[in-house]
Structure 1
């Protein structure tokens, strides 16, 4: 994502005719008692292991920047495929080519792992696994790629840990989860580019998947996108596109976070709409999807934290507490669907 993508995309999405919609087997416990208004039946939810998730971030960063057309990118993709298979996922790989804003032809792969694939009620959990090819907001070495510990690796790490829990404590009944790793999300045109603005230069993987569904005819009851969900002191606001097209899902996630005592992370405030992978999922598939994405209104960028598209997006900013808050909340939402 980039700053000039903070436009209110909701009106544009309306044009396409979408409907707006205002490990262990442990039982999780809240750190604060929910009010009567938010009281919910007890559900057995696996305990999200933040240490495990953190190691998944470390592993991705160790590959180096996961920039398309590089060996690090190829190796990281192979690793993700094998990890999903090792956790019992039915793995589907969508290989394709896409032309970037600068004319580079990118070799990309969307990777999906399906859990309880025969279930009719499906929840799509997604993150992008590529990293930015330039540190275009950094004053030093702006043309060099970034580690992408938060912007890329954190969302993937949370979903890998969720996949591990889905194997250890399988979902019961007619509920299934599809974990999607989108490629080519962060190879968009820099704000500093002197070339004419090119629309839709970001989120190449979700654009392609939305128009070429894998598996064919895929449907989901709703989706949750994770983007930049691991930095210290992260705060997640209710993003506008998410509210407009999947308000009930936003409410469900923020209510779960409140019940778990994570309201300091999942702030009950609204933020502007942003173009991200969920935008194209909504546009092309009509799947109602929300975006859990860190928002820092005090940032000089106006939306993202000071590490965004800079070399400071490295392992030093990743916090296990943030990973835990996001991962446990998503696990609660998923297991409550049983």
Structure 2
């Protein structure tokens, strides 16, 4: 009887211990981070505000006015804002009065994440089906304003609830002044992304580093889908995996498709090569080589911005940055 009693006592303790361990595990799983809800309507309004300035081409008054607005908006959201003014040389020798705009949250935190977009627009609609439009500036609702609009909404939410890591929102200039299709001279990838090339060599903080970066480009198009861009897979496959896993968890697996896309010469390429910060590009890219039907055309306007796409991208990025420890 004593042996049986001891056995029963051991069984009770063991079961109790297992129950306690199970409860602890469940509590850990349930203690997930409270991620703020991304407001696509708000992001849409930030895009509209940029478009209202007109095309934001370097060396124009519209460009200057929009740059001032973006810096003021980030500051209003509580970011520590700085600007990099630089004269950057375009493919044809044109001197571009450029401005990179940086908004930093928790600037003293050594653990940082970087979120990127470009805020300038294309001087020429050189991919427009109508050749008469090839020298008309692009309004850039999707190509430029959408990524910035998403980041402004993220900044607004960060002001209300700070993630654990410091966040840098970096808006690049002179991304879209690359060699036009009608140019008969030499075409090089270095003619693109002049602002990010400058920042990568001259970061806003000496010795700047981030755990990783996420670039948003053309993230508001109708019916857009996103594959894992080729250079992102080469330089930062683990970050791609993290982001696409977050999208799937949120129910956006139909938009963030788990397949490899083509390589795109974009700001992240130079951040990876020069600044050595692992950075991915969330950008739509079709197998036939096009981005979206409005890309570098006069139709890149608010009529073709989709709040569902903005929500999927914005909420996914929020899920990632708020779960970093």
Could you say which residue in structure 2 is the equivalent of 1:330? 317
2:206 is the counterpart of 1:219: no
Aligned residues of 1:297 and 1:304 also touching (Cα < 8 A): no
* Counterpart Cα distance in 2 of 1:80 and 1:57: 11
Name structure 1 gaps, 5 residues minimum: 1-38
Higher mean alpha-carbon deviation, 224-233 vs 111-120, is at 111-120
Instruction: Look up the SS of the partner of 2:123 in the other structure.
Output: coil
* 1:292 Cα offset (Å): 0.2
TM-score, normalisation: structure 2: 0.89
Aligned twin of 2:228: 238
Kindly report which structure 2 residues correspond to 1:47-86, keeping only aligned pairs within 5 A, or say none: 47-86=37-76
Does residue 170 (structure 1) correspond to residue 170 (structure 2)? The answer is no
TM-aligned CA deviation for residue 314 of structure 1: 0.6
Between 120-129 and 197-206, the greater mean CA deviation after superposition: 197-206
Distance 1:278 1:41 in 2: 34
Distance 1:129 1:199 in 2: 19
Confirm whether residue 136 of structure 1 aligns to residue 126 of structure 2: yes
Q: What is the aligned partner in structure 1 of residue 141 from structure 2?
A: 149
3-state SS of 1:200 partner: helix
The secondary structure found in structure 2 opposite 1:248 is helix
For residues 86-112 of structure 1, the C-alpha deviation after alignment (integer angstroms, 9 at most, x for no partner) is: 000011110000111122110000011
Q: Distance in 2 between matches of 1:211 and 1:171?
A: 28
In 2, the alpha carbon distance for the partners of 1:221 and 1:314 equals 34
TM-score by length of structure 1 reads: 0.85
Give, in whole Å, the separation in 2 of the partners of 1:204 and 1:40.
45
Gapped runs of 5+ residues in structure 2? 1-28
> Is residue 48–residue 162 contact of structure 1 (8 Å, CA) maintained in 2?
yes
Aligned partner of 1:98 in structure 2 is 88
Residue 312 (structure 1) aligned with residue 299 (structure 2) = yes
Distance 1:198 1:63 in 2: 30
| Cα offsets for 1:30-75 (capped at 9, x unmatched) | xxxxxxxxx9962210000000000001000000000000011000
1:199 Cα shift?
4.3
- Name the CA distance, whole Å, in 1 between partners of 2:189 and 2:244: 32
Are the counterparts in 1 of residues 174 and 192 from structure 2 also a CA contact under 8 Å?
yes
By how many angstroms is 1:337 displaced?
Answer: 0.8
Shift of 1:297: 2.3
Alpha-carbon separation, structure 2, partners of 1:291 and 1:146: 22
- Whether contact under 8 Å (2:189, 2:265) holds in the other structure is no
The CA deviation string for residues 178-203 of structure 1, in whole angstroms up to 9 with x for no partner, is 00000000000012211122441000
Pairwise CA distance, 1:329:
0.2
Q: Is the 8 A contact 1:224 1:290 kept in 2?
A: yes
- The secondary structure found in structure 1 opposite 2:113 is strand
**What is the Cα-based RMSD across aligned positions, in Å?**
1.2
Looking at structure 1, the residues matched to 149 and 186 of structure 2 have their Cα atoms a distance apart, in angstroms, of: 36
**SS across alignment from 1:109:** strand
Equivalent-residue separation in structure 1 for 2:107 and 2:187 (angstroms): 41
- From the two aligned structures, give the one with the greater helix fraction: 2
Displacement over 6 Å in runs of 4+ = none
Contact 2:262-2:287 at 8 Å conserved across structures: no
